[in-house]
Structure 1
Amino acid sequence: MRHFIIPALLLASPAPAQGPLFDADGYRIAHYRAPVRQPPAGVGRIAPAAAAQLVPDRDAIFIDVLPTQGGHREPGGRWRLASPHESIPGAHWFPEAGRGQPDPAIAQGFARGLARLTRGQRSRMLILFCRADCWMGWNATKRLRAMGYANIWWLAEGTDGWRDLGLPLAPVQPDGGITP
């Protein structure tokens, strides 16, 4: 009698098929924590050390798009946070605005918030970020470029790169532009 050894890999069921990573417009819609190689077309990349030389709200508007960790929006648009969030001092936090397909109220609030912060000047320097290896900052820069903003910079290393320089982070609250 012959005995065959069947490798365990052949017995394992195939992995479930994963959905697409990008939508038809090129926004990342799944697995946001993954390496990101280049900024979207028309967007520059800024190093943490260069960003640290700028004064928030004077030289550039710093925009954090990290999602809330366990938080949610209540009816009326106010955020209920499960835990505090720390960001680059002086940054404006727009939770969830970096999703590939954000909730329409969040997308509208993001657009209103940026219009308010830039006073309608689409040439203002904007620095967008999340964390290292996070597609949400990338998505947000692409979205602002599509909205006609012209001076957009992506801080790919995000708050992780800022902290790696030994620079402090500060508590931040969600920006009021998100409320409906």
Structure 2
Amino acid sequence: MRRFLIPALLIASPAVAQPPLFNPAGYRIAHYRAPVRQAPAGVGRIAPAAAAQLVPGRDALFIDVLPSEGGHREADGRWRLAEPHESIPGAHWFPETGRGDLAPGIGPWFAQRVARLTHGRRDAMLILFCRADCWMGWNAARRLRAAGYSNVWWLAEGTDGWSDLKRPLSRIEPDGGIMP
């Protein structure tokens, strides 16, 4: 009986380098739709039923950070949407602010608008969300906590959890319309 040796190079599969999931600052930058186990440091997690007891704009500032799927920002700062966006009634929508690495102009626009909506109060209750199993709400909550807001909450289940409670969603436009 003959034995054939197969070179190890033919058996071993080459290691494929995976892109990093987080940037050096600790924000998720890839595979945003994945389970998220815990809230960022210094951020509370709020259940959909608890969030549903609050009145957006009175009890808390609800902030949706889902990207503008298929849409984009024009050179003049206006958002061109590919399709309507539905969110928690009374929420403010800040497309693209949940990404780990923000496009130019997005970060300052987000910071300025949140400061204006909170009247500069760093203790205002902020509820950040996207969809269930989405790191964008996590990133945005972490970003606002790092900016000095002390009452930041993450609604991990996002609009999916809101809908699961049989609560309505309503069509909204990007907050402020025009970016600087």
TM-score, scaled relative to structure 2: 0.92
SS in 2 for 1:102: coil
Deviations 1:144-164 (A, max 9, x none): 011000000000000000001
AA aligned to 1:122 is R
Cα shift at 1:33? 0.5
| Rounded Cα–Cα distance in structure 2 between residues aligned with 1:18 and 1:164 | 34
AA aligned to 2:72 is H
Deviations 1:21-62 (A, max 9, x none): 001111001110000000011100000000000000000000
1:39–1:45 Cα contact (<8 Å) kept:
yes
The gaps in structure 1 that reach 5 residues or longer are: none
RMSD over aligned CA atoms reads 1.8
Name the residue aligned to 2:113.
Answer: 113
SS in 1 for 2:105: helix
Q: How many residues align?
A: 176
SS in 2 for 1:176: coil
| Rounded Cα–Cα distance in structure 2 between residues aligned with 1:179 and 1:78 | 7
| Rounded Cα–Cα distance in structure 2 between residues aligned with 1:11 and 1:96 | 43
| Rounded Cα–Cα distance in structure 2 between residues aligned with 1:87 and 1:150 | 24
| Rounded Cα–Cα distance in structure 1 between residues aligned with 2:94 and 2:153 | 16
1:2 to 1:163, Cα distance in 2 relative to 1, 3 A: farther
2:79–2:177 Cα contact (<8 Å) kept:
no
Question: Between the two proteins, what is the percent identity of the paired residues?
Answer: 76
| Rounded Cα–Cα distance in structure 2 between residues aligned with 1:3 and 1:168 | 69
TM-score, scaled relative to structure 1: 0.92
SS in 2 for 1:86: strand
